């Protein structure tokens, strides 16, 4: 498969290896986080006028879902400000590696490895998402809470345990980064296998051992690589590459998913469906219920959310994935079929989130400049835009841009389903029930977008 190693370009490698440019971007992101938290706590409580909600949930989220994750995968994680204070405290330095860091440096418990905690963290945030999306103070408190959790985790456990096992956004980005057109990989795995010191994992004076607890030589997918670039700095054999590649290369190569990864696919695509239905659907009483945390109506909404994302959709997918087993030449259990077909949902899930986020951005983008012009609601006009009127973008196109994104994701998923069905030796008869599931899911999304 075609790949182009960006580090072969003469100007790219020095920029990536030097810590200054990455730190500058991290500090810019940190400044943005500080602005968001201060504005959220001290600024206007009006969500559409406060940078906390506008920058995070309109600008950043859409940029992440529509551009960053589909094309660059986990690149955001390399500059994300949430784990930085904890990481700096853990290391006892900001730039160059030191011999001794601070913190206990315990290994993350084996039983808690995997994505189950991240799945749970995502569900927790998702249940409270409507108040968080609309109330600047709650957005600020959520982000502050995540920073504090990252600090505590960094001081007790080794490396970036928070990013790897806890961060709700990290799990989200990780799953969909498999579709990205960018990857960090070793050039020749044999070179790594023969290199006994494994400096990329243990660290050296040139850089830290992989903060994401990954041995680059065995890296086959983007899921767990945080693009921190440390292995690029430490590898003494110049064996680390940053490749442009065909989108979705991980999905073509990926073997059967673990159960936690498979559930993550279903959870995220199910959450997209629920969000689209609740936030853009016809029922205002459903939105009111999602916003009224602690009431009976909210409890009913939360139960519905959990039922749809954790029971109904996975159940239907289990049924669809196992339906075609008799046609397959390979003997697989129902759960093995579930895990085998689950990665095929990545393109559709990503497309659903991208379409949902793009729709929200197009409608609400005109809030961004006014919110930045008067970040604390004190009557400032820093950018000369505080009085700008709300103006939706692309309204005359209707829902067609969103439909197009969804259809591309659906066609891509359909292609993966067929390839997996062929690999199981079942052909079309094994694929058809899963296609039916994806059509059902897409129809639900289209119905809200269009009808």
Closest to other proteins by CB, 293 vs 310, is 293
Distance between alpha carbon 315 and the CA centroid of its chain, in Å?
A: 24
Query: What is the rounded distance in angstroms from the CA atom of residue 83 to the CA atom of residue 76?
Result: 12
Question: Which residue ranges make up the site for other proteins (CB under 8 A)?
Answer: 46-49, 130-131, 134-135, 279-280, 282, 284-285, 287-288, 291, 329-330, 360, 363-364, 390, 392, 395-396, 398-399, 403, 406-408, 410-415, 417-419, 422-425, 427-428, 431, 435, 438-439, 442-443, 446-447, 449-451
Burial, 415: exposed, middle or buried (Cβ in 10 Å; 0-12, 13-18, 19+)?
Answer: middle
Length of the chain: 451
- Distance of closest approach, residue 219 Cβ to other proteins, in angstroms: 23
CB 369 within 8 A of CB 385: yes
Closest to other proteins by CB, 153 vs 414, is 414
- Distance of closest approach, residue 409 Cβ to other proteins, in angstroms: 9
Closest to other proteins by CB, 387 vs 395, is 395
Residue 194 dihedral angles phi and psi, to the nearest 5°: -85, -5
Closest to other proteins by CB, 42 vs 89, is 42
Closest to other proteins by CB, 203 vs 248, is 248
Name the strand (E) or helix (H) holding 241. strand 240-244
What torsion do the CA atoms of 223, 171, 233, 67 make, to the nearest 10 degrees? 80
- Distance of closest approach, residue 259 Cβ to other proteins, in angstroms: 22
Q: Give the pair of three-digit tokens for residue 192.
A: 């790594």
CB 433 within 8 A of CB 320: yes
Query: What is the rounded distance in angstroms from the CA atom of residue 166 to the CA atom of residue 208?
Result: 21
- Distance of closest approach, residue 325 Cβ to other proteins, in angstroms: 14
CB 126 within 8 A of CB 118: no
Neighbouring-strand partners of residue 184: 242
- Distance of closest approach, residue 435 Cβ to other proteins, in angstroms: 5
- Distance of closest approach, residue 363 Cβ to other proteins, in angstroms: 6
């Amino acid at each position: 498969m075609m790949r182009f190693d960006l580090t072969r370009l003469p100007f790219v490698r020095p920029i990536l290896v030097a810590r200054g440019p990455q730190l500058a971007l991290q500090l810019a992101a940190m400044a943005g986080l500080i602005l968001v938290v201060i504005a959220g706590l001290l600024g206007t409580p009006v969500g559409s006028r406060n940078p906390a909600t506008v920058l995070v949930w309109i600008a950043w989220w859409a940029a992440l879902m529509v551009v960053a994750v589909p094309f660059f995968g986990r690149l955001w994680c390399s500059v994300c400000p949430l784990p930085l204070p904890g990481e700096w405290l853990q290391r006892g330095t900001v730039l160059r590696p030191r011999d001794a860091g601070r913190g206990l440096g315990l290994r993350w418990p084996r039983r808690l490895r995997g994505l189950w905690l991240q799945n749970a963290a995502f569900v927790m945030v998702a249940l409270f998402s409507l108040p968080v999306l609309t109330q600047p103070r709650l957005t600020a408190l959520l982000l502050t809470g995540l920073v504090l959790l990252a600090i505590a985790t960094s001081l007790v456990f080794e490396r970036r345990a928070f990013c790897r096992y806890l961060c709700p956004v990290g799990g989200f980005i990780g799953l969909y980064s498999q579709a990205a057109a960018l990857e960090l990989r070793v050039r020749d795995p044999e070179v790594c296998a023969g290199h006994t010191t494994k400096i990329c994992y243990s660290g050296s004076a040139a850089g830290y051992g992989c903060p994401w607890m990954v041995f680059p030589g065995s890296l086959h997918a983007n899921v767990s690589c945080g693009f921190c670039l440390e292995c690029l700095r430490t590898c003494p054999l110049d064996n680390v590459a940053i490749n442009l590649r065909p989108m979705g290369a991980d999905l073509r190569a990926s073997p059967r998913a673990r159960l936690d990864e498979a559930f993550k696919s279903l959870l995220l695509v199910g959450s997209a469906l629920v969000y689209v239905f609740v936030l853009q659907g016809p029922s205002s009483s459903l939105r009111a219920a999602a916003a009224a945390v602690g009431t009976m109506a909210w409890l009913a909404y939360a139960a519905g959310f959990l039922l749809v994302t954790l029971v109904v959709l996975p159940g239907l997918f289990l049924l669809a994935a196992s339906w075609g087993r008799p046609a397959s030449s390979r003997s697989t259990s129902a759960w093995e079929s579930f895990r085998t077909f689950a990665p095929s949902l990545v393109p559709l899930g990503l497309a659903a989130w991208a379409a949902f986020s793009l729709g929200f951005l197009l409608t609400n983008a005109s809030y961004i400049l006014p919110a930045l012009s008067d970040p604390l609601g004190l009557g400032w006009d820093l950018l000369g835009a505080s009085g700008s009127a709300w103006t939706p973008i692309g309204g005359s196109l209707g829902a067609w841009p969103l439909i197009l994104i969804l259809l591309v994701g659906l066609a891509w998923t359909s292609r993966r389903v067929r390839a997996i069905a062929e690999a199981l030796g079942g052909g079309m008869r094994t694929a058809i029930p899963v296609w039916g599931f994806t059509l059902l899911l897409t129809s639900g999304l289209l119905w809200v977008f269009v009808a």
